Structure 1
Amino acid sequence: MAKVAFLGLGVMGAPMAGHLQSAGHAVTVYNRTAFKAQDWAEKHGGKWAKTPEDAAKDADFVMACVGNDHDLRQVCIGDHGAFAGMRKGAIFVDHTTVSAAVTRELADIAQEMMIGYVDAPISGGQAGAENGQLSVMCGGAQGDFDKAAPVIDAYAKICRLMGPVGAGQMTKMCNQIAIAGLVQALSESLAFAQKAGLDVEKVVEVISQGAAGSWQMVNRHKTMAAGEFNHGFAVDWMRKDLGICLSAADDLKASLPVTALVDQFYKDVQNMGGGRWDTSSLIARLTN
């Protein structure tokens, strides 16, 4: 069992840290809002720290799941950042969805400090985090990955090394690109069924068994049809992720026309007051 620090206790990070503690690891948590860290420690029996640096001291692994590039820089190299507290040979594992650029920047700093670095963004949503069934796509050195993977397994359904540092983030972009187009298509299908006077349950029962079937269809069609959008991953965060995708596509000279369009549709949802709705709320544009 390892000594682990976990930085960031949002809807994803809190249950992930809980799985680590349940698996027998010695977990110390940090959260920008201290009372969340205190509550987590009381609930799970772990420890909490006032700064990322304090949380990272003597840890074998430091996991982070924060908001964006700026947040990640702050917890790594800001005042009392985690890197300052990490010992040589420890490994930093970043579960945040951020740009490949900031990933490589921080990995270079970590290397200079003789700290391992694995970028390991996640997919599976709040339910995946709570059930320990996340997909984890990693970038980094083989040796660092081999050490980190057994710890990550506490909350992973699948964990794979995709290539060098940054490859995990690039794979997560592929994931978000695929989701954006799929949710828009599902939204149009369900809205069409409603306007055609069809029984949505029967429609989904039939088409989900064929080529149109998807996780989103099976797990979200009922709440989408009912206009209920309280399932974790928010539109605001999806727009952040799609912005990363579109920026990377410019650098790669890759064409993402559907992704760019759906990003604007999510902007419409934000303008409707749905920034905190989950990503299935694209249907609201079509039914309101």
Structure 2
Amino acid sequence: MEKIAFLGLGRMGLPMARRLADSGHPLTVWNRTAGRAGGLTEAASPAEAAQGAGIVITMLADPAAVEAVAEQVADGLAPGTLWIDMSSIGPAATAALRDRLPDGVALVDAPVLGSVGPAATGGLTVLAGGRTEDLDRAQPMLGALGTVLRCGGPGSGAALKIVVISAMVGGVALVGETLALADSLGLSEELALGVLANGPLGGAVARARSRDSDFPIRLAAKDLGLAGGGPVLTAVRELLLADPDLAEQDLSRIVDAIRR
């Protein structure tokens, strides 16, 4: 198995890194805030973690974080290295990262769908984009983390993640809006949700009612910002940003906020 440098040990990154280590992959990790490695081999810098690694995996918060790490790591990568970016940064930032890498260093974009629980158990859905030979090489690592959906060429995984997350976040906000409407019309929550759950909003209702997911509202707003300036998604993003006290709460809390 190839040596992996895993950069980013946040909510999702740490259980994913542990999953790879438990699967037998030799692993060195780095995180901006030290001391989160939980027994994994920790490097003092991303460049140190990447030294001698054939695979570099990034699971970082946003495009700026990925760019900052690339500035420290990219120029030192040897030809033949494969960078797998699992962050949610959108296709434009993914293309910028690809252009930043030296000749002979390949990139697979592989953001994920799922929360902290599935990250720990290998139950994520991995949206992978890249050249076929690079996807084949990445498959053992990605397959340890979940079900791999090959989306197409470079950038396609990053693009599909933004499409899917926009639909999901917008759907949860719409559930909150429709429940507020039901409240105003004197209808019970149980009745309204029961009917909505059996219709086109069934998936959004399930996510809105989830109590074991951990997708902070601030990250949902960040992802909608990557989607561009469509009027509906712009309005939802503004709603997500309206109450800073909810920033670290799971997305499902936005339903209660809308109904207040």
TM-score, length-scaled by structure 1:
0.81
Amino acid in the other structure paired with 1:277: Q
Amino acid in the other structure paired with 1:59: A
Q: Where does residue 252 of structure 1 map in the other structure?
A: none
Q: Where does residue 209 of structure 2 map in the other structure?
A: 221
**Cα shift at 1:194:** 4.9
Q: Where does residue 153 of structure 2 map in the other structure?
A: 164
Deviations along 1:200-221, one digit per CA (max 9) or x if unpaired, are 446545542444311x423542
**Cα shift at 1:161:** 2.7
1:281 aligns with 2:246: no
Is the Cα contact below 8 Å between 1:65 and 1:96 reproduced in 2?
yes
1:33 aligns with 2:23: no
Q: 2:173 aligns with which of 172, 184, 196?
A: 184
Cα distance in 1 for residues equivalent to 2:169 and 2:236:
6
TM-score, length-scaled by structure 2:
0.89
Is the Cα contact below 8 Å between 1:190 and 1:221 reproduced in 2?
no
Q: Where does residue 227 of structure 1 map in the other structure?
A: none
1:101 aligns with 2:92: yes
Please show how residues 256-275 of structure 1 align to structure 2 within 5 Å: 256-270=230-244, 273-275=245-247
CA 1:147–1:165 in 2, change beyond 3 Å: closer, same or farther?
A: same
Cα distance in 1 for residues equivalent to 2:126 and 2:207:
20
Cα distance in 2 for residues equivalent to 1:166 and 1:219:
27
SS at match of 1:233: coil
Please show how residues 115-194 of structure 1 align to structure 2 within 5 Å: 115-156=105-146, 158-194=147-183
Is the Cα contact below 8 Å between 2:177 and 2:259 reproduced in 1?
no
Q: CA RMSD in A?
A: 2.2
1:237 aligns with 2:219: yes
CA 1:221–1:47 in 2, change beyond 3 Å: closer, same or farther?
A: same
Cα distance in 1 for residues equivalent to 2:51 and 2:194:
52
Count residues in correspondence. Answer: 260
CA 1:287–1:210 in 2, change beyond 3 Å: closer, same or farther?
A: closer
Cα distance in 1 for residues equivalent to 2:207 and 2:144:
24
* Uncovered stretches (5+) of structure 2, i.e. residues with no partner: none
* Uncovered stretches (5+) of structure 1, i.e. residues with no partner: 224-229, 248-255
**Cα shift at 1:131:** 2.9
Identity %: 31
**Cα shift at 1:16:** 0.5
